[in-house]
C-alpha cells in the first residue's frame, strides 16, 4: 500500500508548494481536487485539457517530486435538482474523467449525488426512513428516474475513456453505505466502485473492517480515505446521531470529524489497515483533514506519523507471516 494525501488540505498554497510539503514528508502519492465541493485550487481540468503545455507542466510538477496521482477527485452532486449546479458538477465530472484518461490515472472520485423529491424540487432530498409511504415513493422515483439512468450513461462514458469511478458513500447522498453502493454498481456498471472513508461510517454505527471485507468481495474497493470521527456519547445518548447542527458547534454535536487517532485509537486503525492488507488492497491510503479542532499542519503531521507507524508494523507482520 501507498501513503498519500488529499491535496485540497493545502488549498491555500500553490500546487508546487503543496507537492513540496507532501514529498518532504516521504509520501508516495497525491489525490488532486478537480472541482465539486472541495474545489479545484490545484487543477482545472478544462484548462489543462485545452492547453497541452500546461498539462505537461502539471504532470512534470508531480513526477519530478517522485509522486504519483492516486486519484482525481470532484466530489459533487451531478443529480442536483438545480439545473445550474447539476450541469456544473456533471461537466466537472466528465472533464475530470477526460483528464484522468490523458494522465493515465485509473480512478476518479465523486459522490453518487442526490436528486430532489420530484421534477419540481429546488433542493436535494435525502430519504432516511420508509414511512410514511411518501418517503418510499420518493426513494423509488429518485433511483428509477434519476440515479440509475444517469450512472448507466456515465458508466458507458468512463468505459470509453478507460477510467473507473470510486463513489464515496456519504450521508446526504443516495449512496451512503455498502448496500446502496452495491445497488449502484449492480444496476449501472462494474466500473463503479467505492472510495472507502471510515469517518462517514463510524457515526452510522458501521464497522469499517466488516465494510472493507464486503466491498473487497465485490472487487469494488477502488480508493481509501484516512479520516476519523469522534462520537460524543453524552450528546448522542440524548439526541442520537442524526445531527443537523453546524460542524462548528463542536461542544453540542453528537459527533465531529477528527484527525485519525483522535476519534478512534491506533488499535482501531491497525485493524483497519490489517483488513486492507488481508483483502489485498494495493492502492493509496489518502489522508483527508477536516478537523476543526486542529490546524492543517498539525493534523497532517499527526496523521502521517500514526499511519507510518501502523504501516511499518503491519509490513513487519507481513514479513513474519511470510
Q: How is residue 135 written as a grid cell?
A: 418517503
- What's the mean pLDDT in 291-307? 97
- pLDDT interval class at 312 (50, 70, 90): confident
Question: How confident is the model over 157-190, as pLDDT tens digits?
Answer: 999 999 999 999 999 999 999 999 999 999 999 9
- What's the mean pLDDT in 236-253? 97
- pLDDT interval class at 80 (50, 70, 90): very high
Residue numbers of the domain that contains 242 = 2-321
The percentage of residues in the chain with a pLDDT greater than 70, rounded to a whole number, is: 97
What contacts 115, CB < 8 A, 6 or more positions away? 79, 80, 81, 121, 124, 125, 142, 145, 146, 147, 174
> What pLDDT score was predicted for residue 320?
39
pTM (2 d.p.) = 0.95
> What pLDDT score was predicted for residue 46?
96
pLDDT at 301 over 60: yes
Strands 228-231 and 255-258: antiparallel
Instruction: State the CATH number of the domain containing residue 104.
Output: 3.20.20.150
Q: Into how many domains does the chain fold?
A: 1
Residue closest to 199 by CA, chosen among 288, 292, 115, 78: 288
Sign of CA dihedral 163, 13, 35, 59: negative
> What pLDDT score was predicted for residue 321?
39
Strands 192-196 and 164-167: parallel
CB atoms within 10 A of CB 52: 10
> What pLDDT score was predicted for residue 322?
34
- What's the mean pLDDT in 188-198? 98
- pLDDT interval class at 315 (50, 70, 90): low
- What's the mean pLDDT in 14-31? 97
In angstroms, what CA-CA distances link 261 with 162, 278, 292, 304?
A: 37, 22, 15, 11
Question: How confident is the model over 247-290, as pLDDT tens digits?
Answer: 999 999 999 999 999 999 999 999 999 999 999 999 999 999 99
Residue closest to 15 by CA, chosen among 46, 42, 53: 42
Helix, strand, coil % (nearest 5) of the chain?
50, 15, 40
Please name the residue ranges forming H helices in 189-322.
Answer: 199-202, 208-217, 233-239, 266-278, 296-321
- φ, ψ (nearest 5 deg) of residue 257: -75, 140
What contacts 241, CB < 8 A, 6 or more positions away? 203, 204, 205, 231, 254, 255
Question: How confident is the model over 214-228, as pLDDT tens digits?
Answer: 999 999 999 999 999
Amino acid at each position: 500500500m501507498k501513503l498519500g494525501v488529499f491535496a485540497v488540505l493545502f488549498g491555500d498554497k500553490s500546487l508546487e508548494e503543496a507537492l513540496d510539503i507532501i514529498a518532504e514528508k516521504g509520501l508516495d502519492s497525491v489525490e488532486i481536487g478537480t472541482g465539486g465541493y472541495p474545489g479545484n485550487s490545484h487543477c482545472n481540468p478544462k484548462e489543462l485539457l485545452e492547453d497541452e503545455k500546461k498539462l505537461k507542466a502539471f504532470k512534470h510538477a508531480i513526477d519530478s517530486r517522485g509522486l504519483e496521482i492516486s486519484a482525481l477527485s470532484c466530489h459533487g452532486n451531478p443529480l442536483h435538482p438545480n439545473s445550474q449546479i447539476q450541469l456544473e458538477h456533471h461537466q466537472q465530472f466528465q472533464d475530470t474523467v477526460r483528464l484522468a484518461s490523458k494522465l493515465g490515472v485509473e480512478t476518479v472520485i465523486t459522490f453518487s449525488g442526490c436528486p430532489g423529491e420530484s421534477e419540481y424540487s429546488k433542493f436535494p432530498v435525502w430519504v432516511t426512513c420508509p414511512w410514511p409511504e411518501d418517503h418510499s415513493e420518493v426513494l423509488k422515483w429518485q433511483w428509477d428516474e434519476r440515479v440509475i439512468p444517469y450512472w448507466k450513461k456515465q458508466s458507458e462514458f468512463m468505459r470509453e475513456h478507460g477510467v473507473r469511478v470510486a463513489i464515496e458513500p456519504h450521508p446526504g447522498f443516495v449512496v451512503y453505505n455498502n448496500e446502496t453502493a452495491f445497488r449502484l454498481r449492480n444496476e449501472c456498471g462494474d466500473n463503479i466502485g467505492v472510495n472507502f472513508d471510515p469517518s462517514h461510517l463510524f457515526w452510522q454505527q458501521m464497522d469499517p473492517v466488516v465494510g472493507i471485507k464486503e466491498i473487497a468481495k465485490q472487487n469494488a474497493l477502488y480508493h481509501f480515505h484516512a479520516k476519523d470521527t469522534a462520537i460524543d456519547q453524552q450528546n448522542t445518548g440524548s439526541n442520537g446521531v442524526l445531527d443537523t447542527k453546524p460542524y462548528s458547534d463542536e461542544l453540542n454535536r453528537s459527533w465531529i470529524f477528527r484527525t485519525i487517532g483522535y476519534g478512534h485509537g491506533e488499535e482501531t486503525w491497525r485493524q483497519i489497515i490489517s483488513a486492507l492488507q488481508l483483502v489485498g488492497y494495493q492502492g493509496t491510503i489518502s489522508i483527508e483533514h477536516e478537523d476543526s479542532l486542529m490546524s492543517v499542519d498539525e493534523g497532517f503531521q499527526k496523521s502521517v506519523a500514526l499511519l507510518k507507524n501502523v504501516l511499518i508494523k503491519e509490513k513487519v507482520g507481513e514479513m513474519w507471516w511470510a
